[in-house]
Structure 1
């Protein structure tokens, strides 16, 4: 497989052998609209990042909020091994001696392993935003870094708005870097704070800075306002930076920060630059992404490169036929390298290859071939169901049950006798009331249950599981996490068929099922039936003898 710089010997010469990862999810990422990490969230994320192998973990800004103060206080007893905790702040305030600056002293008292401060490198920000002279800003940068170096082994300097500042006044932007370097800054981080840069000038600017300060370690901190943060970071590495800053899943203010979930595998697998992440740790990349999404109470981006649910999903029959012969024909890496997996979707574009791939995964020892009658039956049945409105692309559990039926590997755990749902509304302003009654037969024994619910589907779900829970106690842990209704055509108006998609969970895993009918409650029941059956199948629960038909 070709890699990015395979044929560029000059680029390979400039590439660093090793790059440090600097994660700012807990500081820059916490500024994302809609994200609010609790102290416990921050502690759990920080520990997970340390387990993954991130070198530098920026915990927040001591003194900026009680939450950040409490976080640093509670992290004093950490035992991370290689990973180091970083406290973030700014250069001293104008008009104050650095030794008396409250912000710098809070960094020193934070218990962090290192400090990272930002300073202005764009002349207009110095004169307009700070309202001081360019010379005064240089003094603040130099004295702030020097003061922190008396208390920390490692101090990073973030040159804020560096690329805009370099374009506006190259000489002054370099003077800011020189002031920080001469004061002892370990790494000078070039920041694309407004996120407006693109890779070509980033590479050029970093190359020029590298020549100007050949012995100084450099870093890159890119924002994603042009959707170039990852590309800019990789371009900066190509020019020789030794530290890359970013966040898990690219969270951050406005359009976000450089996404470490993409940068890490790009550097490690494609550019062959060591990020300090072992192959075993790299296989935790997808789960790390999911974990931070959970902590942020954020829906995952299913099409996110490398770690998204659909990053290695294949829908077209031609694609599936090809990857069955050689997977890298349509996959740029092995998904297992980043803890993801190949997914073969089933839809109206699917062919025998999709079905056969699914069947072989379900029954790897069966030795099924393209011309096997089981495959033909599955394809026929899927096409028939799709003609009535079924869509299995987002309902993998229903699809697996269908395949099990085709292979005579499915036995019902219960038979529906009847269900009835009441939905009553009294008065214009009163909330409606929903009640469902269900009769099912389990092993020849009749079971009956009734339940109230928040709407008819919720009532049906509760009643159905109440009728079955004595026979199948594991259903007590099951609950619905999502419910969607789609009208399949508008031509029949209220007589149109509807498709119901249900997502269920038992606290450990999630699965999706589908049902279609002109009656929305019947469609919901079909999806609920599949959800329950799938749960029982996955739990390895045997069906009663009377239902084995």
Structure 2
């Protein structure tokens, strides 16, 4: 195992500057707990000098009892022509009682003259005084050299002078920031190597992704001698985002053999990435490396035939190392091997010569002809296969539903759904409103089922897509509805097709809930089996 690399997570500070991301204090606390479990070394919680929400976070995070991560406050160097002890921003960091602070200062002479409008000498004094002041109060100090790479390319002597001044003041780390995200990997390597020759202080890298090389730049910096990596979960951040820790961590650990987090923590990576995306209310790209639902998905029949023999033929790592899993997509490109794989994955005896299998293949082909698409709806496909083999319990059946949509001149549109289903032989009837007909159906169906299946309270819809299949039929065209759902542990997708968008939505919605109940039943069964095994070991 190579050198130890410290992960500095700034999702709760820099990540929240991304467009569309807003986290409450409760959200930030939940994410902080997950980050600590993942094994990051530092959690940058926010800027206490800028808003009361961050102050509340720093007060309440102490109650979590984090086991590994140091909670870190962010701030700037003192204001020009001000003593550090009189600087409100620096004193606010001390007041919130953190163990570490990340202080940023200017490394680029252009920024010194233009942004803070002071002299180069005063900027050096601002850096020294601020670091020294906080260090003297017992804090671990990470000095963030803002715009360092642009500054170095413009005036290397002055850029180096700024970080030497931070080192002289007692900084524990110097993080080199590619603030504008415009530096390329070969430049990062050369400049980090030059910094390593110039200072003795440990080096960190803080990369942005404006040239789509944030991850590559972070890795290049580590290979050149940096031992701290700053970034965010899923690459959230201003403009094009920050360096994505979800890709950086496995690249460093699995590919380059650095010591980053434990193997058990690495196996939790996918769960953390998806959890943070849910809390941030941001849709996670299917093709996100390592943790995306498509990261280890296979569609072509030849590919699937090969991975049935050896998964290394089309996979660069074992998905379970990062908590993900292999998926085989069934589509018009798929051969019999795709269905064989899916059935084996479900523990079913799939014989391509028996009548059940032939009927299932014929059914799938006919449904695809009608407009169904299973490559993006694994949950519907699993229900279909299990049903064909008699391995699916009918947990509820629809008797009827009605939807009413009302609009008055001065009021918004109101949707109400009335659903009648049969559960365990009993007829259950409920009504609910929603912000649209599908949401109203979802709410009404939940009300019917919750008394029998309380676990559904943890499941929610995360995405809803409608596609018109034949535009020439205009308003009478068939539509395909894809629904994505999650329970914070896993994500699944279902599909429905009909000339009526409500009917197609109902099909996908029902499949989503049936799959959720199937997964919960399976998890409960596995838990019972584990408990029986534990009892057996104790008795033995």
Partner of 1:249: 234
For the residues of structure 2 that align with 1:325 and 1:85, how far apart are their CA atoms? Answer: 47
Question: Per the alignment, do residues 442 and 199 of structure 1 end up closer, same or farther by CA in structure 2, a change over 3 Å counting?
Answer: closer
Deviation at residue 49 of structure 1 after TM alignment: 1.6
In the alignment, structure 1 residue 182 sits paired with structure 2 residue 168: yes
For the residues of structure 1 that align with 2:451 and 2:195, how far apart are their CA atoms? Answer: 71
Choose from 211, 216, 219 the match for 1:226: 211
Tell me the SS of whatever aligns to 1:130: coil
In the alignment, structure 1 residue 192 sits paired with structure 2 residue 173: no
In the alignment, structure 1 residue 26 sits paired with structure 2 residue 8: no
Deviation at residue 254 of structure 1 after TM alignment: 1.3
Q: Deviations over 1:393-447 (max 9, x none)?
A: 2222221121123323345456666x4746576878777776767776778x694
Q: Deviations over 1:137-187 (max 9, x none)?
A: 122222222222211252121111111011111111111121111222121
In the alignment, structure 1 residue 501 sits paired with structure 2 residue 501: no
For the residues of structure 2 that align with 1:218 and 1:458, how far apart are their CA atoms? Answer: 51
Question: Per the alignment, do residues 169 and 446 of structure 1 end up closer, same or farther by CA in structure 2, a change over 3 Å counting?
Answer: closer
Choose from 313, 325, 332 the match for 1:348: 332
Contact 1:423 1:432 in 2 (8 A): no
Partner of 2:530: none
Choose from 272, 276, 282 the match for 2:257: 272
Partner of 1:239: 224
In the alignment, structure 1 residue 398 sits paired with structure 2 residue 380: yes
Choose from 220, 238, 246 the match for 1:261: 246
For the residues of structure 2 that align with 1:440 and 1:109, how far apart are their CA atoms? Answer: 58
State which drifts further: 425-434 or 299-308.
Answer: 425-434
Q: Deviations over 1:49-79 (max 9, x none)?
A: 2222111111222221111222222334553
Question: Per the alignment, do residues 178 and 508 of structure 1 end up closer, same or farther by CA in structure 2, a change over 3 Å counting?
Answer: closer
Deviation at residue 359 of structure 1 after TM alignment: 0.5
In the alignment, structure 1 residue 408 sits paired with structure 2 residue 394: no
Question: Per the alignment, do residues 345 and 106 of structure 1 end up closer, same or farther by CA in structure 2, a change over 3 Å counting?
Answer: same
Contact 1:351 1:379 in 2 (8 A): no
TM-score under structure 1 normalisation?
0.85
For the residues of structure 1 that align with 2:438 and 2:505, how far apart are their CA atoms? Answer: 7
In the alignment, structure 1 residue 35 sits paired with structure 2 residue 16: no
For the residues of structure 1 that align with 2:446 and 2:55, how far apart are their CA atoms? Answer: 47
State which drifts further: 132-141 or 192-201.
Answer: 132-141
Structural mapping, 1:80-159, within 5 Å? 80-159=66-145
Paired residues, number: 520
Partner of 2:313: 329
Choose from 377, 381, 385 the match for 2:363: 381
Tell me the SS of whatever aligns to 1:398: helix
For the residues of structure 1 that align with 2:488 and 2:8, how far apart are their CA atoms? Answer: 32
Question: Per the alignment, do residues 114 and 457 of structure 1 end up closer, same or farther by CA in structure 2, a change over 3 Å counting?
Answer: closer
Tell me the SS of whatever aligns to 2:115: helix
For the residues of structure 2 that align with 1:354 and 1:243, how far apart are their CA atoms? Answer: 43
RMSD over aligned Cα, in angstroms? Answer: 3.1
Q: Give structure 1 stretches of 5+ with no counterpart.
A: 1-14, 542-549
State which drifts further: 370-379 or 259-268.
Answer: 370-379
Deviation at residue 344 of structure 1 after TM alignment: 1.2
Contact 2:380 2:511 in 1 (8 A): yes
Choose from 296, 305, 323 the match for 1:312: 296
State which drifts further: 455-464 or 278-287.
Answer: 455-464
Question: Per the alignment, do residues 500 and 58 of structure 1 end up closer, same or farther by CA in structure 2, a change over 3 Å counting?
Answer: closer
Question: Per the alignment, do residues 320 and 137 of structure 1 end up closer, same or farther by CA in structure 2, a change over 3 Å counting?
Answer: same
For the residues of structure 2 that align with 1:76 and 1:83, how far apart are their CA atoms? Answer: 12
Deviation at residue 320 of structure 1 after TM alignment: 1.3
Question: Per the alignment, do residues 63 and 520 of structure 1 end up closer, same or farther by CA in structure 2, a change over 3 Å counting?
Answer: closer
Question: Per the alignment, do residues 48 and 513 of structure 1 end up closer, same or farther by CA in structure 2, a change over 3 Å counting?
Answer: closer
For the residues of structure 2 that align with 1:100 and 1:430, how far apart are their CA atoms? Answer: 54
Question: Per the alignment, do residues 231 and 387 of structure 1 end up closer, same or farther by CA in structure 2, a change over 3 Å counting?
Answer: same
Tell me the SS of whatever aligns to 1:163: helix
Partner of 2:322: 338
Tell me the SS of whatever aligns to 1:147: helix
For the residues of structure 2 that align with 1:393 and 1:518, how far apart are their CA atoms? Answer: 21
For the residues of structure 2 that align with 1:452 and 1:77, how far apart are their CA atoms? Answer: 38
Contact 2:101 2:139 in 1 (8 A): no
Partner of 2:470: 489
Deviation at residue 110 of structure 1 after TM alignment: 2.5
Structural mapping, 1:57-76, within 5 Å? 57-76=43-62
Question: Per the alignment, do residues 406 and 473 of structure 1 end up closer, same or farther by CA in structure 2, a change over 3 Å counting?
Answer: closer
Tell me the SS of whatever aligns to 1:356: helix
State which drifts further: 176-185 or 42-51.
Answer: 42-51
